[in-house]
Amino acid sequence: MKVSLSKPKKGKVVVSWTGGKDDCFACYKAISEGNFDVAYLLNFREMKRSGSHEINHELLSAQSQAIGIPILQIDFVSYEEEFNLVNTTHSLLMDLCSKTG
């Protein structure tokens, strides 16, 4: 029996990213403990939302560049519309499956 003393391969992960300290700390822990290879940062932006909670996308891009991890920025219309889209798609797929057996 051959025993391998090499480290196990890291799992690739995507870290949710809003630019705040909680996301930064989670990303730091994943990398520093050596358990994960952070492949991307992921940021969602609600298109209808504006005001004090709107995150500057240039700032997020600068953070991404500074830590050397690419960022995926995904826009969506609203939580309600996205939920309805998923719900409708699920219903259509269930109907199709029931008709095709």
Q: How confident is the model over 26-58, as pLDDT tens digits?
A: 999 988 988 888 999 988 877 776 544 567 888
Reduced to 3 states, what is the DSSP secondary structure of residue 18? coil
Q: And the tokens for 66?
A: 């500074």
Give the amino acid at 79.
Y
Reduced to 3 states, what is the DSSP secondary structure of residue 92? helix
pTM of the model: 0.64
Domains detected in the chain: 11-100 (3.40.50.620)
Chain segment 69-78, per-residue pLDDT in tens: 999 988 877 7
Give the integer Cα–Cα distance in Å for 47 and 26. 26
Contact 55, 18 (CB under 8 A): yes
